[in-house]
Structure 1
Amino acid sequence: MLPERRGVIVGSDVNKGADHNSDHGLRAVRRSRRFGRRRLLFWLFSFAAICSICIAVFGFKLFFHGVEEHQSIPTLTSVKEILTSVEDVPVEPETMDPPKKKPPRGRFYPCKVELRDSVNELVEPKVFGKFVNFSLNYVAREDRPSLEHPITPRFGGHQTLEEREQSFHAANQTIHCGFVEGSEGSPSTGFDLDKEDKMYMNTCTVVVSSCIFGSSDFLRRPTSKLISQYSKKNVCFVMFVDKETLVKLSKEGSTPDERGFVGLWRIVVVSNLPYDDMRKTGKVPKFLSHRLFPSARYSIWLDSKLRLHTDPMMLIEYFLWRRRSEYAISNHYTRHCVWDEVQQNKRLNKYNHTAIDEQFLFYQADGLVKFDPSDPKKPLPSYVPEGSFIIRAHTPMSNLFSCLWFNEVDRFTSRDQLSFGYTFLKLKTTNPDKPLVLHMFKDCERRAITKLFHHRNP
């Protein structure tokens, strides 16, 4: 139809208005094209405007919907649902809070120690030796042949519970106290010393000793200028080491001279260490100085983290003679109850938790109670010692206490702070009329007579 209509219009009466009709048709076509474009633009603009309005309206509602949900107070049911959903969702490492920084360690300072002006003024009190007296001997060999139940020789021996209970009595007896050999022909149980070192140690009457096993520390020499000539001549300074430590110290410039000395320290090499645990091996010279130095009347023990800068004879006068005591040790600077010490050891993974629990439960079953600082009749100012510095006279009660404490370390854990309070209290209750005169001094005094260092990093 369109061609026909177009043909009629074009072909009718050409002479009448050909030019006019031609111009009119062209204008009509142009108007129709412009109208079409406008309609297209109008609908595009309208569509865009509608979309913008929808986005603005719905986005605004969505925003307020989120705010309202965040600020709304959930009901009890919704709280339970939330807690249940939180418990059911595993926490990924990325979502966990960062570990809290450890609080800074407290600073502890020394306090004044009233020492004598000179060792020349020192006189041992005549009444000092009037302590409990009895005869104490030690098990040297265990010979229990049994084909059905053979025993492996141990340095600490195989003390039964009955023997352990009996050993707390301050009476003439023979007890386990380390250095126990097996039957004839059995290998050594450990802590073997050279004959020359043994001969030297047998001559000592006053001893300052320490040890480094497993290259666990540096060699810290006593401050020579603060040690009197009398002490340098009459006091034995003995450092026990193993072969590994000797090699390490030699590489660091601490090579013993031809007499075996590095400064004031006589270096004594220990072979065949009795325990795989270096800490437990270190308890041998710490507690058993009366076994290692059979002629000694006094001994001072200091851990390898300490440097002695006070004359040892001054210390014996101050902590033993002046206090009329036979054993002196400092209390711990923060903890005084064994319960707290157990928690701290487990918190810092100082030892196997099961072993700590076994020891602690044993002590509780045998009557160990919590430390009560308000009790005016408390036997000690603390049940937890610092333990790195000990001054003792080699009296029967002091030797007995040292053996008993060592046997607890041998039987249980090497954390000797756990067994100190129990050992002292049991010895006291077992012998109410035969006291161990123990002086527990303040830790600030220990800091005044020694210098504290950190252990060597492993």
Structure 2
Amino acid sequence: SHHHFLLGNLFVFFQSHGDCMLFSLYYTVSETLSFTSLKISQIGSYSKKNVCFIMFLDELTLTTLSSEGHIPDENGSIGLWRIVVVKNLPYKDMRRAGKVPKLLAHRLFPSALYSIWLDSKLRLHADPMLIIEYFLWRKKAEYAISVHYDRTCVWEEVLQNKRLNKYNHTAIDEQFYFYQSDGLVKFNASGHDPVLPSYVPEGSFIVRAHTPMSNLFSCLWFNEVNRFTSRDQLSFAYTYLKLRRMNAGRNFQLNMFKDCERRAVAKLFHHRANGTTDPPPKNLRTDKNHSSMPS
């Protein structure tokens, strides 16, 4: 029987495009994909009328969707989504390839004004215009990402990645030791005026304006993913702290919001396997004080 193995993530972005906003999504997956993951609920009439929806797929995903009856129409669209097939991806490791649209939207679409990243296991439950307004405009922020639902320290994240065999242990150690040698210390929530509410983000949902500092941070974060492991949660705090240290006179408006706010607009669901819904991993905590969101 076939099993699900995600090759990439959903990517959503806004771009000024005449009188409409371009709203695009990047998705790659092997074997089987439940098309329900691509539906977006609660999109307002304004967005439906004025937003152009673009979906980037690899050939395998398009073949899978077509075999399940989701065939592009004469305009190359499936429902709201205009389909664009991507080829010649830069990495064989699709976890790393997925970081290109996740972190480098401003390089792929240089005229873009805003972008929203949505992980492939999440379904959007809010109008994208409201998301931009709430997470960026209302907070006067240029980059918004939630804290992790359970962990705040990179030391904890390293142990969890190794415990779950998320990546080669030697590669994780090499990255972690380098960060320590370059000044990374343990997160201390009780410290004087902490720089961040957490050193570990939940990277499944990112909202950003394509400002110079936001673009610089995204490029620096991608550089870490490129030279070390693809586990971007390991490099987030190091990248942010180094950006602040190297650009002391330039302010970067980061909104690191609560995980419950993320869960209010992006719901978790599990990919289908042989016509059923995958149960949550057994290791996930399900008590009242913790979300069931995976790392």
TM range (shorter): 0.7 to 0.9
> What aligned pairs does 1:29-428 form with structure 2 within 5 A after superposition?
203=17, 205-215=21-31, 217-219=33-35, 220-224=37-41, 226-428=42-244
Q: Which has the higher helix share?
A: 1
Whole-angstrom distance in 1 between the partners of 2:180 and 2:33: 35
Amino acid at match of 2:99: K
Amino acid at match of 1:395: T
Amino acid at match of 2:69: G
TM-score normalized with structure 1 length: 0.54
The secondary structure found in structure 1 opposite 2:170 is helix
Q: Per-residue deviation at 1:236?
A: 3.5
Whole-angstrom distance in 1 between the partners of 2:253 and 2:84: 31
Task: Point out where structure 2 has 5 or more consecutive residues left out of the alignment.
Answer: 1-14, 275-295
Q: Per-residue deviation at 1:202?
A: 8.5
In the alignment, which residue of structure 1 is the partner of 2:291? none
Q: Give yes or no for contact 1:302–1:388 (8 Å, CA) kept in 2.
A: yes
Whole-angstrom distance in 2 between the partners of 1:384 and 1:456: 29
Q: Give yes or no for contact 1:326–1:393 (8 Å, CA) kept in 2.
A: yes
Q: Give yes or no for contact 1:212–1:239 (8 Å, CA) kept in 2.
A: no
Amino acid at match of 1:321: W
Q: Give yes or no for contact 1:214–1:278 (8 Å, CA) kept in 2.
A: no
Q: Per-residue deviation at 1:397?
A: 0.4
Whole-angstrom distance in 2 between the partners of 1:332 and 1:236: 31
Whole-angstrom distance in 2 between the partners of 1:405 and 1:240: 22
Amino acid at match of 2:38: R
Amino acid at match of 2:43: I
Q: Give yes or no for contact 1:222–1:309 (8 Å, CA) kept in 2.
A: no
Whole-angstrom distance in 2 between the partners of 1:246 and 1:285: 18
Q: Give yes or no for contact 2:196–2:256 (8 Å, CA) kept in 1.
A: yes
The secondary structure found in structure 2 opposite 1:299 is strand
Amino acid at match of 2:194: K
The secondary structure found in structure 1 opposite 2:193 is coil
RMSD: 1.9
- Asked whether 1:453 is paired with 2:273, we answer no
Q: Per-residue deviation at 1:222?
A: 3.5
In the alignment, which residue of structure 1 is the partner of 2:4? none
Question: Taking structure 1 as reference, are residues 208 and 320 closer, same or farther at Cα in structure 2, changes over 3 Å only?
Answer: farther
Q: Percent identity?
A: 68
Q: Per-residue deviation at 1:429?
A: 1.1
Q: Give yes or no for contact 1:208–1:312 (8 Å, CA) kept in 2.
A: no
Amino acid at match of 1:239: M
Amino acid at match of 1:432: A
The secondary structure found in structure 1 opposite 2:236 is helix
Question: Taking structure 1 as reference, are residues 268 and 386 closer, same or farther at Cα in structure 2, changes over 3 Å only?
Answer: same
Whole-angstrom distance in 2 between the partners of 1:234 and 1:215: 34
User: Number of aligned pairs?
Assistant: 257
Whole-angstrom distance in 1 between the partners of 2:30 and 2:160: 25
Amino acid at match of 2:117: W
Higher relative contact order (CA 8 A, sep 6+): 2
1:343-394 deviation line (CA, Å, top 9, x unaligned): 0000000000111011111111110111111124111111111101111001
Whole-angstrom distance in 1 between the partners of 2:142 and 2:31: 33
Whole-angstrom distance in 1 between the partners of 2:245 and 2:272: 40
Whole-angstrom distance in 1 between the partners of 2:52 and 2:226: 27
Amino acid at match of 1:233: K
1:150-190 deviation line (CA, Å, top 9, x unaligned): xxxxxxxxxxxxxxxxxxxxxxxxxxxxxxxxxxxxxxxxx
Whole-angstrom distance in 2 between the partners of 1:216 and 1:350: 22
Whole-angstrom distance in 1 between the partners of 2:98 and 2:137: 28
Q: Give yes or no for contact 1:254–1:262 (8 Å, CA) kept in 2.
A: yes
Q: Give yes or no for contact 2:58–2:86 (8 Å, CA) kept in 1.
A: yes
Amino acid at match of 1:390: I
Q: Per-residue deviation at 1:238?
A: 2.9
Which runs of structure 1 show a deviation greater than 6 angstroms over 4 or more consecutive aligned residues?
Answer: none
Q: Give yes or no for contact 1:221–1:263 (8 Å, CA) kept in 2.
A: no
Q: Give yes or no for contact 1:208–1:237 (8 Å, CA) kept in 2.
A: yes
Whole-angstrom distance in 2 between the partners of 1:352 and 1:395: 35
Q: Which structure: larger Rg? A: 1
Whole-angstrom distance in 2 between the partners of 1:411 and 1:202: 33
Whole-angstrom distance in 1 between the partners of 2:245 and 2:119: 30
Question: Taking structure 1 as reference, are residues 317 and 382 closer, same or farther at Cα in structure 2, changes over 3 Å only?
Answer: same
The secondary structure found in structure 1 opposite 2:98 is helix
Whole-angstrom distance in 2 between the partners of 1:456 and 1:371: 37
